[in-house]
Structures are given as structure tokens and as C-alpha cells.
Amino acid sequence: MTTVLITHPAFLMHETGRGHPERAERMRAIDRALEDESFSALVRREAPLRDDDASYIAMAHGEDYLRDIRDFADHVTGEPRYIDGDTAVSPGTWEAARRALGAGLDAVDLLMDGSASNVFCQVRPPGHHAESHRAMGFCLFNNVAIAAHYARAKYGLERVAVVDFDVHHGNGTQEIFWSDKDLFYGSTHQMPLFPGTGALQETGVGNIFNAPLRAGDAREHFEEAFRDRILRPLHDFSPDMVLISAGFDAHHRDPLGGLDLVEGDFGWATEALTKVARRHANGRIVSMLEGGYDLTGLARSVAAHVAVLMQAGA
């Protein structure tokens, strides 16, 4: 088996406006990094538009929310319009958003039919801030939460985990998973920082594991928090599949965060998660891009992340 990369040119057409950090150049920077010869073995697929996606979106967001987002997108014809202070919708956003969540569904299919050992979804807009009934933080649909619900509904998996190492807490994934003991959410993130959630005492029904870090924290604190607050309960949870909210804005170069990680730290976390997946989930990992807004830091970090996935999938 192998590692699969899922992306699509439509992600360039989601326009967010001049000066917005979540911009199309992020995709181009990753493309350049993954053009290196060391990634020649990556199997590359285009993110699909799925005829069945509405039913799976509704599992995480509800039918009313889906209709509201579609109606908003349908009325955008020129410059981007904003749902809130930083979440933009342009004429190309609806297709990009559907392909982003479609990438997650496709990735689950590839793992379950044995076509891939793990998958990296290079997508935008990101998803982990989107709550069940609210778009926010650049996010419209919660791509990993939708993929987790799909894995259970389509394939009968009992326990699905999402691990999030974005510098910002994934409030949306936490809110969607909050009352479901068979969905695990674990997050390392900076606090205080947007969106203001992610405290240690936020535990859901014993399925939420937050590991807040302070501005300036580097590898030592990150590894300690990741091992103690994420990996240990994740082993106890014994997931049938591991999904990663792969945000790279904890990199020391990133303008939106204050942590002091380097690309090797993301490689370390990825390797740790591949070990969990091998032990409990037949190696099954779906990684979905979230944040990362310094182009150099993003490109190098994605390269480190994907290189570890490829080693695990070889």
C-alpha cells in the first residue's frame, strides 16, 4: 500500500480578499514542496464532488445549516463576502468547500478498501473551527468531523479519533463531538488565543482531551503535552481510525501564533500518531490540512509531515 495525496485546482478559486492570511498561495507553496523528487512515490488524486455529501454534512451540521451556507454562497457574485469578520465566501468557495469535505470522504474510502495506507488531504477552506451551526475562523464545513461521521455510518467503525495540532483550538470539532463517547478529540494549541476554547476542564463526556500551551513554548513542552494529554488517552480509546487536523501555524515563523515549533516537531507528532494507528487501527490515518500561514514554514512542515506518512505507509 501507499500514501495518497488528495487535492484539486478548485482550492485556488476560493478567494478571501487582499491581505487575508488564508489564501490560495498556501496551496502553491505546498505544491512546490511536494514536487521534490523525494515525493515522487506519492499517489495523487483529485478531490471529488460527491453526490452523497449532503447526508454526511448533515450528520455534523444539520440540514438547516447546509441550506443556509448554500444560500449565502449562491448570492456571492463578485468580491468575497464575509459571514463573520474573517470567514470569506467567493464565487469559487462552494465548489472548494465541497471538494474539501469530499477529499475526506474519499480518503476514508481509500483506507477502507485497502487502496491506501494513509492519506493527506491538501485542501481549503479549512474546517476545525466550523461548529454544528456556525461558520467561523476561515471555516465553513468541519471536514474532519464529517469524515469521522462518514467512517462510522458507511463502514460501521465503532471508535474514531481526531487529533489536532493546529496552534488554534478546534472549537468546532470539540462542539460536534462533545456528547459522543465514541468520538475522541485531542488538541494541542496555544492559550490564550482565538477562539478562546480548549481549557483542560473542557472534557465532554470523557472524550475531549485538551493540552493548552503558552506562547513561546517549544518542542519540550509540546512533546510533554502531546504524550501525556493526547497519546495516553488515545491509546486507551483504541481508535479504529485516526484523523489528523494538521495545522502548521504552531511553527515559529507563523504570523497568527506564538508557539516556537519547527518542522521536525510536526514530523515527531506525525510519527507518534502513526504508531498509535498501527497498533489500534491497522495503520489507518487521514490527515486534513488546517492552518499554517507563513508560506515557508507551511511548505517545510507539510513536507516533514508527508514524509513521515510515506515512511509509515511503505
Non-local (6+) Cβ contacts of 44 within 8 A are 4, 5, 6, 7
- Report the sign of the C-alpha dihedral through residues 302, 304, 309, 311, in that order: positive
Nearest Cα to Cα of residue 243 among 81, 60, 77: 60
Euclidean distance between CA atoms 170 and 174, whole angstroms: 6
Q: Is the backbone peptide bond immediately before 233 cis, with ω within 30 degrees of 0?
A: no
Cα torsion through 80, 122, 185, 254, rounded to 10: -70
Query: Coil, helix or strand for 120?
Result: strand
The DSSP call for residue 208 is E
Q: Are 116 and 313 in contact (CB under 8 A)?
A: yes
Residue type for 311, please?
A: Q
Q: Which helix (H) or strand (E) holds 88?
A: strand 88-89
Euclidean distance between CA atoms 305 and 309, whole angstroms: 6
Query: Coil, helix or strand for 288?
Result: strand
Euclidean distance between CA atoms 78 and 130, whole angstroms: 24
Q: Which helix (H) or strand (E) holds 152?
A: helix 143-155
Question: Active site residue: 8, 14, 128, 129, which one?
Answer: 129
Catalytic site residue 129? yes
Euclidean distance between CA atoms 167 and 258, whole angstroms: 8
Query: CA angle, corner 198, sides to 197 and 201, nearest 5?
Result: 110
Residues labelled as active-site residues: 129
